[in-house]
Structure 1
Amino acid sequence: MIIALVIAAGLLGLTALLNFSYTKSIVIFAWSCFFKPFNGATDLNDQQAALESFYQSQASIYDITRSTLLKGREMMYAILFESLRFRILQIGGGTGWNIEMMDQYMSIAKFKAVYLIDLSPSLCKIARERIQAKKWSNVHVICADATAFAMPDDVKSADLVTMSYSLSMIPTFYAVVDRIEKLLSRNGIVAVVDFYAQSTASLCGRTNLGGELLRHVNWLSRTFWRLWFEFDRVYLDPARRDYLEYQFGTIKSINSRNTALGRIPYYIWLGCHKRRDPERASKIDAMATESPYLLPVSTSPSLPVVDENGVITVRSKGYEAAVVNLQRNFPLPSFFYQTEAWRIFYDERLPKYNQFAGQYIYAFTWEDPREDDRILKFKPTDTVLAITSAGDNVLTYAALPTSPRRIHCVDLNPHQNHLIELKLAAFSTLEYADIWQMFGEGRHPDFENLLVSKLAPKLSSHALQYWIRNTKTFTGAKGLYDTGSTRWAIRIARYIFWITDCTKDVDALCKATSIAEQKIIYNTRVRPAIINPWVASIVLKNPMFLWKALGVPVHQAEMISSTAGDFLTYITDTLDPIIERSLISTDNYFYYLCLKGRYTHANCPGYLKREAFQRLSKPGALDGIRIHTDEIVDVVARIRRHSVTIAIVMDHMDWFDTDGVDATKEIQALNHAIKMGGRLLFRSASKRPWYTKVYEREGFRCEAAQVREKRTSIDRTNMYASTWVATKPNGGLEPPTLR
């Protein structure tokens, strides 16, 4: 009895023990759950009798004792806020607490009808009392079996069906799921929150789940929680959730743990009819491959890519996955059911995505978009392909008065794309003040609430689950810009400033109002702290630091050595000219962010300016952006030939082996996608990168747009030795046929 009381106390909090009514509730709960779950039932094969035996004695204290145990209910309704329509059917509605929770997000009175179905007379009694107290005339409580209840004759369908911790308690769950499928309106939504215990080994061959993050429950936890809950006829076997995900398309799927009570696994799932739009697959296929003729989800697809014989030659990976699922009668991949079409399908189970250890490398983009626009002169007719990074530059291009009409963002790291997807969702739903807090200051104390109530409907299931797991990115003390692998470089720099007692000088540098003042502070105090032999020997010569903290791989490090002789000289040639170029306080947001951990309104990326918000937040302003989670070669192979006018690949090719095999393969693929007269911009740690010869061999004309010399800077970061433009001449060499 003592052990049971301790466990029950965790449900209510230790402070509740000081109150007699709470103590009484604990005792009742412990007795009902741990000692007499179903004693007294006349027929244990009768589900209603069994439930009534369990709930009759604790119906009055049900809501008090479940607030900590049944996690995720509030979050589910917050996510649903944008999706609620006219008729709601709640299966296993219990005491009506869930309906009261819905009322906090959207007035229950505005719905045509709400039906609460539950098999326990005691819980239904509490629900009726609650509804009567709220004076909801449109809410109806029906005490019936979920597999056999009858809706009123004039009600043919429900727009929203919810199940809150009830699917795990229904023996004939398959019949209930089938009945929901028949009752749900064509554009309706199913929402379920419940316990689960599952191994990812049971998910083989499935691409429809919408995210597997935290889905796996280890053997010990699976075994313990399944046995524990079965004492109360609550079944955590995976068949229930699997059948749900088989019968419906997955819109959102969130796996989590109840950390307050032994990390009990629970999930939140939103779904819809898996065939609600028969043309969905062809639309997505067109959106992914018909560049530059990308289409919003609401429009018809354009003609497929065909050869001279009318045979379709290009298909998106999403389309191919959809075909496989349709053959198996599975729902389409989760990406097909999203509100927005930004994120293109990718199969998260592939080994190539495992290398990123669950995080992005860059929390901010280091390349200077002002120089990109100066060199390339973006036009509204351009179709751009660019590496995503943190998405800062992509959004800055999109915010230009002459913004390209189409932008393909490409990154193999899924988490970099989760970050830009969050930014797109923010501009689609939030006010400027919230966006500034999130991405200007890097912190927002109410981020979790914004995420589930406003951003969630705009996010793919994969991105939503990632950010739910990483809410501390914005709510933690250090914020967004102390995340990602590159945070270690910033932390080490701050530590060096601290031990050399020049933190105040760094602050003064960031407040300097003239170049002369900036030079004095830098040269007398800041420079000696970071540019010295011991920093070079301990930090800069460490390959692990170069890759993990600076994002410099081995081949690029070799290029740096060949350019400057050693890394310290390269850093010196990078930083010294910056001080003479522009004020860090007002015109160099890159270094200001590294030193201060935030931006200012006067010193920030272009997409965070208030005038940019006015452009990016307009309806349809972001419709031309597509996010590809793949390698460049795979992406451009599935884009219409000669459709890209500008490609920006950053310093990406510095990473390749000098044998030229990978570089040749990628340049040939880019040649396939770039139109005649199109241009490709790349940066390098070398003044004359070796792969310019590969570009020239493949028909491009390479010209250096910028080359860094001693005591000069080529842009506001000055991190690269050169910037190049490769142009595909009109009438130049035709690319070979891609295999």
Structure 2
Amino acid sequence: MDLLVLKTMEKFTNIVKNLQDRLFNSVTSNKLVYNTCWEDPRLDREMLQINEQSNLVMLTSAGCNAFDYLLDAPREIHCVDENQAQNALFELKRALFQNGDFSLLWDFFGEGIKEEAARTYHHHLRPRLGAPTRRYWDRNINFFSPSPAVPSFYYHGTSGKVAFMIRKKIQRKGLHVKINKLLDAQSIKEQTYYFYKVEDSLWSGFFKWLADQQITMNMLGVPACQRELINEKEDGGISGYIHRVLRHIFTRRPIQDNYFWRVYLTGSYTPDCCPNYLLRKHYERIKQQEHIIRTYTSSLLQFLLKNPGRYTHFVLLDHLDWMIKDPDQLAEVWHHILNNSVRGTRILFRSAGTSTDFLPPFVHRRLEFQPALTKRLHTKDRVGTYGSTHLGIVQ
């Protein structure tokens, strides 16, 4: 192949990559992407070992897990997110704790709907919010007003829109009765039975096509670089990967407390299948502690530059994957993470890939990874969509 052809192919590849990046940014910038956290805090808390001396830095996402970590009584939690919409979601939840009425919290975020949501917001919640959060919810509080078009808050936001497309297709195919029986199953044997009843119809042309579209991945908060990681290790590509995840979740893991998949398949939680922050028994405890959480609309790097400290925990979700094609940026972020860590700091992250080979060499020299622990817990993950989980302890 001559040099001209090679250069042309390289140029075309760069154009495609730039278009993909611009598409991802246009979908996710300042729009609500994650309306619920998609990481299992039960496993997080076992790995993090939070205590009263803990000073955590974490990515906000939907804020559910920050409230969950309060149950271990840390000293401080710093929630950082570049997307103001994600912080606005957290602050609305915080306002519902400050308001002091559990039933309101449950209506908004347990049921995902609230009659007269705008009236409740303006009378009880808006005065508790800062200006940027007010501006966001002044425009979007109707997310909680049910309508035939969009019957739940959990079908708003970009990830919610994908979930709603899937739900409507399930209903059109007449699969919703079996799906509900699957979710209500009381044993793995029973849920496996119902999964195999719907598997062929569920994983037919439309669903496979939807999974293979980059715009779908963008709406779910999955950039092109993560899709490439999955395609490198999965023979069936993205659609094959998701099919394998579904089979594992619904036939190998108990479904009774899997609120992650329930909320997207039904649009709501139930009182015994929901995040910890929505359990009545935890309401007062979280209410008394929510003041220790601070939010920052910022990149992680900007946060560390402006707020240097001795942090004991970092919860990075899958953020490192997003920098996998920019090793200089990845190294810079890691330098600042380590410079703001103490001996014993626990750094938790997930990846679409299966290894930590993409990390800079100096990270491996500073961290002692815990593969036995993370591999054991990864198999118990109720979400199941990540390729691997990693915990490094600063030496």
Provide the TM-score with structure 1 as the length reference.
0.48
1:640 aligns with 2:312: no
Separation of aligned partners in 1, 2:324 and 2:287: 42
Residue 193 of structure 2 aligns to a residue whose secondary structure is: helix
Alpha-carbon deviation of 1:611?
1.6
Separation of aligned partners in 1, 2:27 and 2:193: 44
Q: Do the aligned partners of 1:563 and 1:685 also contact (CA within 8 Å) in 2?
A: no
How many residue pairs are counted as aligned between the two chains? 366
Separation of aligned partners in 2, 1:656 and 1:510: 36
Q: What letter corresponds to residue 454 of structure 1 in structure 2?
A: H
Residue 485 of structure 1 aligns to a residue whose secondary structure is: helix
Q: What letter corresponds to residue 308 of structure 2 in structure 1?
A: R
Q: Say which of 352, 355, 375 aligns to 1:688.
A: 355
Separation of aligned partners in 1, 2:265 and 2:362: 38
Cα separation, partners in 2 of 1:354 and 1:490, compared to 1, 3 Å = closer
1:540 aligns with 2:207: no
1:422 aligns with 2:92: yes
1:580 aligns with 2:246: no
Q: Do the aligned partners of 1:695 and 1:702 also contact (CA within 8 Å) in 2?
A: no
Alignment of 1:542-691 (within 5 A): 542-548=213-219, 550-565=220-235, 566-584=237-255, 586-618=256-288, 621-641=289-309, 643-691=310-358
Larger displacement relative to structure 2 (512-521 or 689-698)? 689-698
Larger displacement relative to structure 2 (687-696 or 566-575)? 687-696
Residue 379 of structure 2 aligns to a residue whose secondary structure is: coil
Q: What letter corresponds to residue 507 of structure 1 in structure 2?
A: N
Separation of aligned partners in 2, 1:357 and 1:675: 33
Separation of aligned partners in 1, 2:26 and 2:171: 36
Structure number with the higher helix fraction is: 2
Separation of aligned partners in 1, 2:183 and 2:389: 27
Residue 350 of structure 2 aligns to a residue whose secondary structure is: strand
Partner of 2:374: 706
Partner of 1:481: 154
Cα separation, partners in 2 of 1:495 and 1:449, compared to 1, 3 Å = closer
Separation of aligned partners in 2, 1:432 and 1:682: 32
Cα separation, partners in 2 of 1:393 and 1:658, compared to 1, 3 Å = same
Alpha-carbon deviation of 1:463?
0.8
Separation of aligned partners in 1, 2:247 and 2:376: 12
Q: Do the aligned partners of 2:27 and 2:218 also contact (CA within 8 Å) in 1?
A: no
Q: What letter corresponds to residue 546 of structure 1 in structure 2?
A: M
- Deviations 1:412-438 (CA, angstroms, capped at 9, x unpaired): 000100000111111011311111001
Q: Do the aligned partners of 1:695 and 1:701 also contact (CA within 8 Å) in 2?
A: no
Q: Do the aligned partners of 1:636 and 1:672 also contact (CA within 8 Å) in 2?
A: no
1:388 aligns with 2:60: yes
Separation of aligned partners in 2, 1:380 and 1:715: 26
Identity %: 28
Structure 1 residue runs without a partner (length 5+): 1-352, 730-739
Q: Do the aligned partners of 1:687 and 1:707 also contact (CA within 8 Å) in 2?
A: no
Which structure has the bigger radius of gyration?
1
Partner of 1:716: 382
Partner of 1:515: 188
1:370 aligns with 2:48: no
Separation of aligned partners in 2, 1:608 and 1:409: 19
Moved over 6 A (4+): none
Q: Do the aligned partners of 1:447 and 1:474 also contact (CA within 8 Å) in 2?
A: yes
Alignment of 1:280-429 (within 5 A): 356=28, 358-398=30-70, 400=71, 402-429=72-99
Alpha-carbon deviation of 1:447?
2.2
Residue 382 of structure 2 aligns to a residue whose secondary structure is: coil
Q: What letter corresponds to residue 513 of structure 1 in structure 2?
A: Q
Q: Say which of 114, 118, 123 aligns to 1:444.
A: 114
Separation of aligned partners in 1, 2:307 and 2:394: 17
Separation of aligned partners in 2, 1:469 and 1:604: 27
Cα separation, partners in 2 of 1:561 and 1:714, compared to 1, 3 Å = farther
Q: What letter corresponds to residue 610 of structure 1 in structure 2?
A: R
Residue 443 of structure 1 aligns to a residue whose secondary structure is: coil
- Deviations 1:54-77 (CA, angstroms, capped at 9, x unpaired): xxxxxxxxxxxxxxxxxxxxxxxx
- Deviations 1:280-308 (CA, angstroms, capped at 9, x unpaired): xxxxxxxxxxxxxxxxxxxxxxxxxxxxx
Aligned-residue Cα RMSD (Å) equals 2.1
Q: Do the aligned partners of 1:695 and 1:726 also contact (CA within 8 Å) in 2?
A: no
Q: What letter corresponds to residue 50 of structure 2 in structure 1?
A: F
Residue 346 of structure 2 aligns to a residue whose secondary structure is: strand
1:502 aligns with 2:175: yes
Separation of aligned partners in 1, 2:26 and 2:129: 22
- Deviations 1:221-258 (CA, angstroms, capped at 9, x unpaired): xxxxxxxxxxxxxxxxxxxxxxxxxxxxxxxxxxxxxx
Q: What letter corresponds to residue 523 of structure 1 in structure 2?
A: Y
Alpha-carbon deviation of 1:360?
1.0
Separation of aligned partners in 1, 2:295 and 2:44: 20
Q: What letter corresponds to residue 467 of structure 1 in structure 2?
A: W
- Deviations 1:79-134 (CA, angstroms, capped at 9, x unpaired): xxxxxxxxxxxxxxxxxxxxxxxxxxxxxxxxxxxxxxxxxxxxxxxxxxxxxxxx
Residue 373 of structure 1 aligns to a residue whose secondary structure is: helix
Q: What letter corresponds to residue 162 of structure 2 in structure 1?
A: A
Alpha-carbon deviation of 1:374?
1.2
Partner of 1:103: none
Alpha-carbon deviation of 1:533?
5.7
Separation of aligned partners in 2, 1:708 and 1:697: 21
Partner of 1:528: 200
Structure 2 residue runs without a partner (length 5+): 1-24
Alpha-carbon deviation of 1:534?
5.6
Alpha-carbon deviation of 1:507?
1.7
Residue 676 of structure 1 aligns to a residue whose secondary structure is: strand
Residue 390 of structure 2 aligns to a residue whose secondary structure is: strand
Cα separation, partners in 2 of 1:686 and 1:358, compared to 1, 3 Å = closer
Cα separation, partners in 2 of 1:357 and 1:675, compared to 1, 3 Å = closer
Q: Do the aligned partners of 1:387 and 1:409 also contact (CA within 8 Å) in 2?
A: yes
Residue 291 of structure 2 aligns to a residue whose secondary structure is: coil
Q: Do the aligned partners of 2:29 and 2:83 also contact (CA within 8 Å) in 1?
A: no
- Deviations 1:354-384 (CA, angstroms, capped at 9, x unpaired): 8745521011111000000111121111011
Cα separation, partners in 2 of 1:583 and 1:714, compared to 1, 3 Å = closer
Partner of 1:455: 125
Q: What letter corresponds to residue 33 of structure 2 in structure 1?
A: I
Partner of 2:5: none
Provide the TM-score with structure 2 as the length reference.
0.87
- Deviations 1:550-597 (CA, angstroms, capped at 9, x unpaired): 21111000111112221122113212121234443x310001111110
Alpha-carbon deviation of 1:697?
5.0
